[in-house]
Amino acid sequence: MSATLPAFRAPSAFERVFNRVYGILVGCGLGFSHSYLLQVRGRKSGRIYSTPVDLLELDGKHFLVAPRGRTQWVRNAEAAGEVILKRGRSRQSFRLRPLSDAEKPGILKAYLDAFKREVQRYFPLPAGSPAQAFADLAQSYPAFELLPL
């Protein structure tokens, strides 16, 4: 299988509108229990940007995966080194630990299996594929472990 995926998979106009509306709902405390509003400082502007994300909880650890690739939130988070997850009135700050490509296959599998309805279209493998099948794709999907500040 070829692992040539674009570095960034842009959202459609509908997805941009949906993310904005869903982000407002999550910011108010509504939505799925795994949905959070990720807030990160812009690497150039210094402005706070927000986007809804699905938080993967696995073995007592928290992970963020960017199914669209190197999005703006990924670039900003890498530059800032930390993010805030907001849900309603709750805000938690986290330091990011980028995962190595060797660590990603199990996380990518768990992420796709947990959120297949939302993210299957961004993966060339079907949910339920074995973890080793994700090894060739690991470099195309930024992933982070969240460590409390």
Over residues 30-57, the pLDDT tens digits come to 999 999 999 999 999 999 999 999 999 9
What are the domain boundaries of the chain?
Answer: 36-148
| Residue 93 confidence (pLDDT) above 80 | yes
Mean pLDDT of 112-128: 96
CATH architecture of the domain covering 36-148: Roll (2.30)
| Cα–Cα distance for residue pair 54/14, rounded to 1 Å | 19
| Cα–Cα distance for residue pair 60/67, rounded to 1 Å | 22
| Cα–Cα distance for residue pair 66/76, rounded to 1 Å | 13
Burial (0-12, 13-18, 19+ Cβ within 10 Å), 60: exposed
Q: What is the pLDDT of residue 4?
A: 57
| Residue 5 confidence (pLDDT) above 80 | no
- What is the reported pTM? 0.90
| Cα–Cα distance for residue pair 133/69, rounded to 1 Å | 18
Evaluate whether 98 touches 52 at the Cβ level (below 8 Å).
no
